[in-house]
Chain A
């Protein structure tokens, strides 16, 4: 899964290199891929369509700056829009009501409601110093109430005593009473799992809602949920009226597109993330984290930012000028390698460039790593001035000398020469595009064997 998206975004980058401002055609081509990628991340189709339309509007006409490619810029725009879509800031659980504040958990079977009840109870008790009571209204799933009781015991939180043969509404009433009488700040009602199309069970939970008047009604959904997430969220919102969304099992490797679907279709904030089976494995929702996850890529955004910071503009322009005048010299190459080092070396860049995994094997085979870059710099420094200006001079005996001088092998020197040739070829093509194009191309030109 992961590979397909990064691969796709990589191909966007390939396709869109070397343009000044993003044209409508560029953006459309890129967004077609982003669209498929989002669908693969389980974002629901109507939501994807809506989202893409918004991004398209934002992206057309944006200037491509510095050493990032047009494709990377699109990715950053997509990422930022995703964060915005997901809800920019962290919204805390609403506790502003007269105690006992009632919170109700709803969702499909097995979605993680009972665990989330214990987690939230634990969080409110430990972090917000609330006196919390938990009560399970799940009389259907075998041993569901015992499950909540055990979890409550594990984190020293009171649970409503279990009475056999009691109906959910009656349990809720008893819980409210106990919470009032014993001065609890918060009462969390765990409910049975139900399908949104099960009319009887939906009516049952509505009756509980009408009785308990929860301040928060939280829809708990599995991060692995597929395209049906829109339907689930919409139905629960329409029939029960949810106030926020919790996502369980984000400790898995699902891309979590359901988060976007549910947020978009209900407009309700995501507030909680379940990160494991234990009661303390809870995190407050972070849009940034989920956005990156949905896009399933290394942090392109920080790459873009890093690139803007650390590329020495003057140096780059000098190079570009040199380029326009003549051939791609080893001096130019050295300067590029040094720039790359400045940006944290290849290993740090690798993690940030989408699509790089397409080349990962080749790169590893070719032995390209940070020490390889160091060796390349050493080789260039072992060349004479003439050699650095004209690669054609470097024959067999010169290769031996360069290898000796830099502590490398003739094979290494050959590799360097091959790479230099590849880069020169590309640079020649780049010249047509002028200075701007070159600045953007800098980093990518280093990728071997494209």
Chain B
């Protein structure tokens, strides 16, 4: 079995991580003094970990090795360990099984994060596992969003409910009723991308949630926020605002096949403890993998 980490490494052979490079340049058998700690902190920040998390990690390193000689490998190892410890409780795969049927999955996030693509990938995985599922084209706003999901539905070979009008909430209501009648195991709802600072759009999202709960008060069983790994510190705000608005239950991080390593996730894990279910590592249907704290930490630190 090739882990996604191996896959990543293959793709990234030529681009060793800046963080790792930075650590090597910084330390060649030097004593771990204050100046070095400060520079390490900056290096961590420059991998999108944010100031608070970077400070925290550096302090942990200092506690272990202050004023001792240290090699770049050791620094990387200690950081990777600490990050893994931080992320481990969050590494929870999503199992689409609940007390009632269907298991409703609401997918949300800012524009272009990878919601529609991720739905296509997840649909394929669950379909292959033998679940009966349907998709709902809840993005009634973006040009050709429905057509895009239609193609994904075809690729995954699952049915899709589309809206006759622009009314996303109305569509969701009808689609859920139909899914219940059919006895679907899973229903996945795509939504329009929205920036979390747009009050009206966030209200619309709350409305969709209320409509879902009219049909099943325990639904949605999963409310997934999709984050783009290229995003910097704003991802933290995104998580907090979406969480407050619609009670996000877990995260999926996309585009980890690029050179951005999603460092902000460490800060998010530290501050919210939200489960991280899966990561996207490409545009193809099979490019969705279970999140592994160890691999993620290694990928952040590895050369």
Contact = CB atoms under 8 A, between A and B. Distances in A.
Given A147-B142, A151-B143, A142 B148 contact: yes
Contacts, number: 154
A interface, over-half SS: loop
B144 A197 contact: no
B260 A228 contact: yes
A110 B227 CA distance: 12
A225 B264 CA distance: 11
Contact of B42 (A39, A141, A196): A39
A4 B51 CA distance: 10
Contacts of B11: 197
Contacts of A112: 111-112
Interface in B176-195: 193, 195
A231 B150 CA distance: 34
A255 B233 CA distance: 9
Contact of A150 (B48, B144, B195): B144
Contact of A253 (B43, B141, B231, B234): B234
B45 A142 contact: no
Interface stretch (B65-73, B213-221, B251-259): B251-259
B230 interface: yes
B110 interface: yes
Contacts of B273: none
Interface stretch (B12-20, B80-88, B96-104, B162-170): B12-20
A225 B259 CA distance: 12
A266 interface: no
Contacts of A222: 112, 228, 230-231
Contact of A154 (B143, B233, B234, B236): B143
B interface, over-half SS: loop
B197 to A, nearest CB: 4
User: Which of A150, A154, A254 counts the most chain B CB atoms within 10 A?
Assistant: A254
Given A197-B258, A252-B110, A252-B195, A277 B142 contact: yes
B232 A109 contact: no
A153 to B, nearest CB: 9
B114 interface: yes
B288 to A, nearest CB: 15
A141 B263 CA distance: 26
A433 B260 CA distance: 50
Interface in A137-157: 140-144, 146-151, 154
B152 interface: yes
Contacts of A92: none
Contacts of B230: 108, 222, 224-226, 228, 232
A224 B144 contact: no
Given A45-B42, A110-B228, A222-B112, 14 more contacts: A44-B46, A111-B112, A142-B147, A143-B144, A147-B148, A196-B259, A197-B11, A197-B259, A224-B230, A224-B231, A226-B232, A227-B48, A227-B232, A231-B15
25 contacts: A4-B51, A36-B51, A39-B45, A39-B46, A42-B232, A45-B43, A108-B230, A110-B113, A140-B283, A142-B150, A147-B145, A147-B147, A148-B143, A195-B258, A197-B258, A224-B235, A225-B232, A228-B258, A228-B260, A249-B110, A253-B237, A254-B232, A255-B233, A277-B141, A277-B193
Interface of A: 1, 4, 36, 39-42, 44-45, 108-112, 140-144, 146-151, 154, 195-197, 222, 224-228, 231-232, 249, 251-255, 257-258, 277
